[in-house]
Structure 1
Amino acid sequence: MEQKLREIASSFALEGRVTAIDSLGEGFINDTFIVRTEAGAPDYILQRKNQYVFPDVPAMMDNIRRVTEHIRRGVIAAGGDPRREVMTVVPAKDGRLYHIDGDGQYWAVSVFIDDTTAYNKADSPELARKGGEGIGKFQAQLADFTEPLAETIKGFHNIRHRFVQWDEALARDAAGRKKELAEEIGWIESRRTGMLDFWSKVEDGTIPTRVTHNDTKINNILFDKQGEVLCAIDLDTVMNSPSLNDFGDAIRSYANMGDEDDRDLSRVGISLEMFRAYTDGYLSQRAKQLTDAETDHLAFSARYITYEQVLRFLMDYIDGDTYYKIKYPDHNLVRTHAQYRLLQSMEGHYDQMCRIVAKTADKYRKA
């Protein structure tokens, strides 16, 4: 395997001789490796892009290039370090931003930013606040980016589109599992109208569309050794969508007291302390840029994105586990139950969440 990876890496415009290639992380979607090079040259991140999830890899890579170049210009103008404060895409030797191997698989490379810290989970309010600051900073850096971006995943976070997929999945019942899921299907259907009502505000422009990351787990933010935000990474899903999507997805990840696939549902629920901390970090960067409609719906966005994730995990389970990587046969069903428990907790604490957002936004708008 390493010999094949070396051959793929050699197709890119790397500096220095490759000394080793090792697996890195356990991503749901892509296969990721770190390419080590001789002293004096940078190391690199090599990724096999999942074409099932990203059917148009060239368009995705063009999105990443344009967004990172825009951020890089801003970092330079502010006197920052563009080698560390923004992701750097490395082209293939033929000038394209990707390489296609002999099996038709797409690969991409970026510069590995060394001397950094990454976290798999926000385990303190201080870290949650920094995470909010990181995503808020990323969005703020792109507030004046006006070029349209390709929709690399059709209907991503578009609940009307998800319901089309959902209805089709129920009709297919590809894995023959629907008959055992009446309760779980009921969870989805009982909230359909409310979620569509929210999405209609995006469709009519009440909630504006901006540039968003769309995968705001804390391990997609790099920190320096002093704990300060450096940059956002893993930009495969960067697209035009409501800013609320990033906030809601982050809360789903950061403020959950349990794990995304926790079998012990007694541990799952929203931590208002973590919610407050993330909200503070995020709005420290964005409070003066967001419209009133966006601010008013920040708390609801956490419910919206968590609901969507319940739907997507359950839909994948019904479809026979074709989208998310699983570690055991009912993994997607376990994820479904854990995310639903989190959604219930958010619904129970919703009024408190709204008050936290309003108070925090007011603080930073007056600052």
Structure 2
Amino acid sequence: MIDFVRQLVLPHFGVPALDASVSPLGNGHINETFLVRWSSGELVLQKINTDVFKTPNALVENAHKIAAHLTQKCESNEYQLKVVGPLRTQDEALAVDLKEHGFWRAINYLPYSHSIEVVTNEEEAFAAAKAFGHFSSALSDLDATVLEDVIPQFHHLPGRIAQLELAVSKDTHKRLDTCSDWVDMVFAQQSLLQELAEISPSLPLRTCHNDTKINNMLYDKRDMSSLAIIDLDTCMKGHLMYDFGDMVRTFTSPEEEDSKALDKVHVRESIFAAICRGYLSELGSVLSEDEKRSLWLGARVICLMIGIRFLTDHLNGDVYFHIHHENHNLERAANQFTLYQSLLAQEQALTQYFN
């Protein structure tokens, strides 16, 4: 793959193949990402997974619109983070489609950038939540309808449950026996569907990040200050309760999302409180009252829904998320469902931080 990238992809972006070093970057579940360095520059190169993102041109167009809007905000001193945006090809395109050899795009690389996989203290959680809130606040005046839905109904709990029901009914890979207890748990959560049906019509459409994992906020390794929000692939119109929920999902557990140590997977109350403080410090005056009320619902829905997606992929034969060993998606699902159960058990303690 490295030789292919160097010889056939990099020239499209004006990078001299013989002078370039190419190395894998990050641990994303979907796309293949590389750091490219040469004597006069550096960039991040990605091969977009077109099985997941079936309209990759829409993806890069969305990212371009968001980066352009944030750049304008920077120029007027309304956005204090660095902007990560697309780099154009030699033909001034936002990406290059090599057909059977993949759809490739490049984005600027930020020196001194550092990401973490697990939040270790309240300061890290507060900084990241504040950064994601700042990102959303800066985009609050961007008409969300100008963005295309790169994955239709991405955060749609009824649809995700329906996909799980189909996977269960088919059980193509004969895996149901290994996870039937988790399947039963999911199907018992019908009350969430009712809550969603009641509040969703009152929520405004916003430009949402839709993947606010802790490793999508870059710290500056020199002082661990917030540097940039990255991975704009799933930026679409939606409801901010899901952005809040994904922070809760990826910040609050002391374990990574595929940890098998379920006895250690739980929501850390102090980290949850820091998320609320950081996020609302930037968005408190932007959110409607209904949006503020929806945040607790968003936390529960996202933890359950990501678990459903992992479980569905396990039953379907691991066709969506990259796995590294047998039953990897089942382990991820069990992890997320355990975190969801921890949320429910601490509802009284956690909801006080919205007041």
Q: TM-score range by the shorter chain?
A: over 0.9
Tell me the TM-score normalized by structure 2.
0.94
Q: CA 1:65–1:293 in structure 2 vs 1: closer, same or farther (change >3 Å)? A: same
Contact 1:202 1:242 in 2 (8 A): no
Contact 1:316 1:323 in 2 (8 A): yes
Contact 2:259 2:331 in 1 (8 A): yes
Task: Please give the alpha-carbon distance, in whole angstroms, between the structure 2 residues aligned to 1:63 and 1:250.
Answer: 22
Say whether residues 1:113 and 2:110 are aligned partners.
yes
Say whether residues 1:247 and 2:244 are aligned partners.
yes
Contact 1:257 1:269 in 2 (8 A): yes
Hey, what does 1:49 align to over in structure 2? Answer: 48
Task: Please give the alpha-carbon distance, in whole angstroms, between the structure 1 residues aligned to 2:64 and 2:96.
Answer: 15
Task: Please give the alpha-carbon distance, in whole angstroms, between the structure 1 residues aligned to 2:88 and 2:228.
Answer: 20
Q: How does 1:157-176 map to 2 (within 5 A)?
A: 157-176=155-174
Q: How does 1:1-367 map to 2 (within 5 A)?
A: 1-6=1-6, 7-13=8-14, 18-38=19-39, 41-78=40-77, 85-101=82-98, 103-148=100-145, 149-191=147-189, 193-201=190-198, 203-204=200-201, 206-224=202-220, 225-358=222-355
Contact 2:246 2:303 in 1 (8 A): yes
Please state how far the C-alpha of 1:244 moved relative to its aligned partner. Answer: 0.7
**Aligned-partner residue type, residue 171 of structure 2:** D
Please state how far the C-alpha of 1:167 moved relative to its aligned partner. Answer: 2.3
Deviates more, 1:144-153 or 1:101-110: 101-110
The root-mean-square deviation of aligned C-alpha atoms, in Å, is 1.9
What do the CA deviations read for 1:205-224 (whole angstroms, capped 9, x no partner)? x1222111111112111222
Deviates more, 1:275-284 or 1:115-124: 115-124
After TM superposition, the runs of 4+ consecutive aligned structure 1 residues lying more than 3 A away are: 13-18
What do the CA deviations read for 1:254-281 (whole angstroms, capped 9, x no partner)? 0012221121111010000110111111
Tell me the TM-score normalized by structure 1.
0.91
3-state secondary structure, aligned to 2:13: coil
Task: Please give the alpha-carbon distance, in whole angstroms, between the structure 1 residues aligned to 2:325 and 2:3.
Answer: 30
Which ranges in structure 1 are unaligned for 5 or more consecutive residues? Answer: 359-367
Contact 1:13 1:91 in 2 (8 A): no
Contact 2:167 2:315 in 1 (8 A): yes
Task: Please give the alpha-carbon distance, in whole angstroms, between the structure 2 residues aligned to 1:195 and 1:20.
Answer: 49
Contact 2:252 2:267 in 1 (8 A): yes
What do the CA deviations read for 1:88-120 (whole angstroms, capped 9, x no partner)? 211222232111225241111001011223222
Q: CA 1:101–1:272 in structure 2 vs 1: closer, same or farther (change >3 Å)? A: same
Aligned positions, number: 352
Task: Please give the alpha-carbon distance, in whole angstroms, between the structure 2 residues aligned to 1:315 and 1:80.
Answer: 39
3-state secondary structure, aligned to 1:103: helix
Task: Please give the alpha-carbon distance, in whole angstroms, between the structure 1 residues aligned to 2:152 and 2:158.
Answer: 12
Contact 2:300 2:343 in 1 (8 A): yes
Task: Please give the alpha-carbon distance, in whole angstroms, between the structure 2 residues aligned to 1:3 and 1:177.
Answer: 38
**Aligned-partner residue type, residue 253 of structure 2:** N
Contact 2:176 2:315 in 1 (8 A): yes
Contact 1:18 1:35 in 2 (8 A): no
Q: Percent identity?
A: 27
3-state secondary structure, aligned to 2:72: helix
Q: CA 1:286–1:4 in structure 2 vs 1: closer, same or farther (change >3 Å)? A: same
Task: Please give the alpha-carbon distance, in whole angstroms, between the structure 2 residues aligned to 1:203 and 1:116.
Answer: 37
Q: CA 1:144–1:183 in structure 2 vs 1: closer, same or farther (change >3 Å)? A: same
3-state secondary structure, aligned to 1:11: helix
3-state secondary structure, aligned to 1:62: helix
**Aligned-partner residue type, residue 161 of structure 2:** F
**Aligned-partner residue type, residue 108 of structure 1:** R
Contact 2:78 2:138 in 1 (8 A): no
Task: Please give the alpha-carbon distance, in whole angstroms, between the structure 1 residues aligned to 2:19 and 2:131.
Answer: 32
Which ranges in structure 2 are unaligned for 5 or more consecutive residues? Answer: none
Contact 1:42 1:111 in 2 (8 A): no
**Aligned-partner residue type, residue 27 of structure 1:** G
Contact 1:214 1:246 in 2 (8 A): yes
Task: Please give the alpha-carbon distance, in whole angstroms, between the structure 2 residues aligned to 1:152 and 1:173.
Answer: 28
Contact 2:70 2:79 in 1 (8 A): no
Contact 2:10 2:17 in 1 (8 A): no
Task: Please give the alpha-carbon distance, in whole angstroms, between the structure 1 residues aligned to 2:48 and 2:159.
Answer: 23
Task: Please give the alpha-carbon distance, in whole angstroms, between the structure 1 residues aligned to 2:236 and 2:79.
Answer: 25
Contact 1:15 1:42 in 2 (8 A): no
Task: Please give the alpha-carbon distance, in whole angstroms, between the structure 1 residues aligned to 2:301 and 2:79.
Answer: 36
Task: Please give the alpha-carbon distance, in whole angstroms, between the structure 2 residues aligned to 1:187 and 1:336.
Answer: 12
Contact 1:214 1:237 in 2 (8 A): yes
Q: CA 1:351–1:18 in structure 2 vs 1: closer, same or farther (change >3 Å)? A: farther
